[in-house]
Chain A
Amino acid sequence: MNDLAPATVNAARHAPAPPLAMLMELTHRCPLKCPYCSNPLAMDRARDEMSTETWKRVISEAAALGALQGHFSGGEPMVRDDLVELVRHAHREGLYTNLITSAVLLDKRRMDELAEAGLDHVQISFQGSETALADHIAGLRHAHVKKLAAARLVRGAGLALTVNAVMHRRNLHQLPAMLDLAVEAGAQRIEVAHVQYYGWALKNRAALIPTRAQLDEATRIVEVARQKLEGVLNIDYVVPDYYASRPKACMGGWARRFFNVTPSGKVLPCHAAETIGHLHFDTVQEKSLAEIWAHSEAFNVYRGTEWMPEPCKGCDRAEIDWGGCRCQALALTGDAAATDPACGLSPHHAMMKELAVAESAAGAEDFAYRMIS
């Protein structure tokens, strides 16, 4: 997604290039219960969350390390009383500040405070194009109308707005209306993101995964809309791996551009990395971000290309897709160091596609809402 010449980042023994972005999961608390939440199944509780002062230190360390973008996320980051203070600190440290929110808690006063603190960009998730389905998926009544009102506040404050449209079997028929919603809301961008199946989404995959016909129709709709809306709305499109023939460059490559800090202070190469149970993750309480970025075992284990198995090793796409996604490799093959089965060269590729075809055809209805157990 970043318009950047590919940086050369090799094995652990070389100093890695600085990260581009830090995702701050300020909390796992959230008023919504979306069944595809990217948070882990075992979530941090409020009492585990880091203090304002610790987060400010983390933000300063990230800026000094070279991170350019700071994404405030969760859970729902707006449940934290200190969000404005943290945004102001990140802005002063030079980070480009982005709020990733459900927006159901955004009112005029907090919007004005966030804008004044230097917030640059707001991403609001939408679960559908109309109240009944959107509120059902979110597991919260009146969520959809609150989001529409919040989008107007963002534009009123002069901030950039991205609509995050998370798509799956239940709401794909609303994609054209979701695009209309983004235009009417005055968004500059929409992320049409098919659910990625980790954590909660993996648990609920049978109820969410689209059929091949649905996916093809969505891709056609996006292509037409891109032409029609050029200069009005930028459309980022994330396709589901299960029907792909090449893997995505997950996170732009493990530990190449991005890191994630959890509510309790663990530093992860991606937000799903804790599913790889044998990895140990350092915390910001124990070590500096600079030390973790350069030396953490969890960052170096899949960084670069030296860890790669056949057929990744020596593949001319090794530095394009970086072997795909480690969490997906583990979830579907049992081995986090295997080639991502989204790749047509993986021995598990056919199994992955068959799973998607069979589950989407079976049409399971029930899903489990995200909740802290």
Chain B
Amino acid sequence: MLESLVHVCLAGLAQGMFVWLVASGLTLIFGVLRVLNFAHGSFYMLGAYFCYTLLSALGDNFWAGLLLGPLFVCAIGFVIERFFLRYVYHFELPYQLLLTFAFVLIFDDVVKVLWGAGSLGSPRVPGLAGSVPILGRNFPTYSLFIMVAGPLLALVLWLVLEKTWAGRIIRAASSDREMASAIGVRVPALYTAVFVFGTWLGALGGGLAVPYVGLLTPGMGETIIIEAFVVVVIGGLGSLKGAFLGALVIGLLSSFGTRFIPTFDMFLTFILMAVVLVWRPQGFFGEAS
């Protein structure tokens, strides 16, 4: 029983950290730009495909792929923000949703054209391919790696936002755009930078997903984006702390739900979301408006 509980717990933590990697960029972009970016799932998918292609081209070097792949997606993110999104900031929210959703459809088809409609298998990551026995049952080494990478990313983000000059500017612009602009912050450039950084986070999540999920398929972003949205809503739109906590809660809930109340496991996360929305509409750490 203990063995089982520990493993259910570990699986939940890994799942939570995996969703956190993707949700971080989503909530960051919302926090600063106030854009709900549907295309974040596409960045995740493109990140996975670019990492995959580069790692194959570089002789199955996973780390080189992970380093370079997301940069390609950043370039795409830059074009989207600079030449499309910028023109709809002053429209109502539905316009931004429609625009980013259009990119979801476009990128799904682009992936089909470039990489084929079928699924691609992922190579193993040297050093992280096997599993380690924990209480007599094997646990994937790569999942442990994700469980370390998640909090590490959270720490880096926290340091950047709280302790650096750039972080202070970002926080200033996100709390009051006009005031920041008045004291000389170049808000449009800042928006571009934050969007590209958020894109990088999504693409990095995709690159890390390749060995975690085990395959790449066109449309793979659509599954993860829903989970990421739930996490972001529960945690509070725009709150990184909230997204981190939300991801942990969702991961554990889904793992324990699947194991112990399998009939209702699909409902659990959404029930939690509904309860949070009723009881605390702004989420765990969101600002009440």
A, B co-complexed: no
| B residues adjacent to A (C-beta < 8 A) | none
